Structure 1
Amino acid sequence: MSEHPEVTVAPVQAFEPPYYVAVFTTVSSEEQDGYAETSARMQELVQEVPGFLGMDHAGTPGGLSVTAAYFRDADALTEWRGNAEHREAQKRGRAEWYQSYTLHIAKVERSHAFTRAEATLAPEAG
């Protein structure tokens, strides 16, 4: 039996470089009132930014969270950074939701992907 959940999950596809990635790593504080709603709104809002390519997210039970958001160009990233609603969410995050965070912005120069084809897997030997 597989240890992986039945839910279909996949990383954001590999895009033709160059493009940009913003990697936001947080440690949650105990105060999380309103966080889930604001996070969902930010996920909706970022998708409206021309040049937004996608987002990967992972978290641990201990409160560490990593979000990687991909953007076609620096202008798209700048538009997201300057969005008024996003700026307000950032302020609230620093005041309430995050114990600490880091933000890394990088230009992606190489990108590739792999997906295992289920049909090519050999049956288990018995």
Structure 2
Amino acid sequence: MSDQPLAPVPPFEPPYYTVVFTSVRTVPDDEEGGDDGYDATSTRMDEIVASVPGFLGMESARTPGGLGITVGYFRDEDAIKEWRGDAEHRAAQKRGRGEWYEKYSVHVAKVERSYGFERG
């Protein structure tokens, strides 16, 4: 994960798309030996997706119980297709199914409204 200040991704001018990846790890992050290359791969995936034309941003969170949610924001479906088809991303997906995830789901949605609030 990034060392960016704590803040939500700002609203963008619709329409755009979100990809919501919700997962449960096979070994929780806080257990001994629970990494097995996961953190390095996650960091690399962050780098790759950030280079995809049309990538707008990403937010991630994990509950103490181990439910993880990552939301990626993309300008259009072509950007999502490029990310989905990236060779390193596909290899990470395969490893995720084989080692890191007990279960996951992916939801893709078109955003038609977007707004935010910031105090100050």
Equivalent pair of 1:32/1:96 in contact (CA under 8 Å): no
TM-fit CA distance, 1:63: 1.2
Q: 2:9 aligns with which of 8, 12, 18?
A: 12
Aligned counterparts of 1:68 and 1:29: Cα–Cα separation in 2: 20
Equivalent pair of 1:28/1:100 in contact (CA under 8 Å): yes
TM-score between both structures, scaled by the size of structure 2: 0.89
SS at match of 2:19: strand
Q: Does 1:100 align with 2:103?
A: yes
SS at match of 2:104: strand
Q: Does 1:85 align with 2:88?
A: yes
Partner of 2:57: 54
Q: How many residues align?
A: 111
TM-fit CA distance, 1:8: 3.7
TM-score between both structures, scaled by the size of structure 1: 0.85
TM-fit CA distance, 1:82: 0.3
User: Sequence identity of aligned pairs in percent?
Assistant: 62
Q: Which amino acid aligns with 2:38?
A: Y
TM-fit CA distance, 1:116: 1.2
Q: 1:29 aligns with which of 20, 26, 31?
A: 26
